[in-house]
Amino acid sequence: MKIGIVNDSIMATEVLRRIISSSPHHQILWHAANGAEAVSLCQETLPDLLLMDLMMPVMDGVMATRLIMKNTPCAILIVTSSVTGNASMVFEAMGAGALDVVATPVLGKDGSPAAINELLRKIELIGKLIGHPAKRNTPRSVNGERRPPLRRNDPTLIAIGASTGGPQALTAVLSPLPIDLNAAVVIVQHMDKKFTQGLATWLDQQVALPVKVLCEGERPSPRVVQIPCTDNHLIMNSNGTLGYSVEPTDNFYHPSVDVFFQSLIKGWHGKIIAVLLTGMGRDGASGLLALREEGHHTIAQDEATSVVYGMPKAAMQISAAIEVLPLHEIGARIQSLVVRG
């Protein structure tokens, strides 16, 4: 993979150079000392992947990510020395199109091999995502079984899947939903477990509904937004509780929207409104189709408002969505469907 480094620190840049050079599968294409240089270099020679710092002179990583994704889109991994200290910028960058975030590793006797391995692992995962898309399988339902009939007393479940550009998209969808919403909301966002608590806290400050990290064994709760906090897949158990699973191990999306959507077919007996938002890849498309074929309402974000039109496009290609809507209309549409019952 051809990789560009965007970092104003000479020491951090050298660390990243040495780590990337340790792999025969990667090549350093160029280095930029700030976001403005990166925007210009991307117009000249576009890399497969950018390792983007956040705090830089002239132009920070958030603005650079926004401009690059608008003009010369490519995969972007945020690499920053203080992930927790820059939490709001992390989520802004991910909302602008960054795929993931990782702490800047250090080398030497105090360096952490785990941090170095984590960076290489995320680079490899992104390589699979942009170079080896998932198979276009479209299962009708989990294990071919039909779901049990609806129970009137079960609340409506709003299931949302998102990836690249997700944080800001989630804010736009959740903001119109009222505090007395007669439905539960569960979100699957492709994100490292280290940052999901920060995402929940950040979203909680943006929207009326309370947002919390879910614990294994909980049930979806009306008037609450729940987000998983693990690198494992989120699943709905047959008794209607939420749990985590390492299977399927060959699915490199973590947590996977497809795995969650398909588990709902056997595990949730109430009405489901499933929404697939902006994201790179195809995760969520087959699960959305399975839910549509079970009679649930399915929505995909449109191309014009998607930061990356990958996941929603995959859903559109297999007719998985009943409706394809611009981002600013999805929240109001969800509310109208909940009220209609």
Residues with a catalytic annotation lie at 163, 190, 283
Sign of CA dihedral 294, 296, 302, 305: negative
Sheet order of strands, 100-103 included: 27-32, 2-6, 49-52, 75-80, 100-103
Nearest to 19 by CA among 88, 100, 121: 121
Token output for 335: 């509310």
Scored b (16 or more CB within 10 A) or e, 210-244 reads ebbbbeeeebbeebbbbbbbbebbbbbbeeeebbb
Asked whether the beta carbons of 281 and 165 are under 8 A apart, the reply is no
CA atoms within 13 A on the CB side of 34: 6
d(CA 288, CA 285): 5
Token pair 């709003």 in the structure block, residue: 158
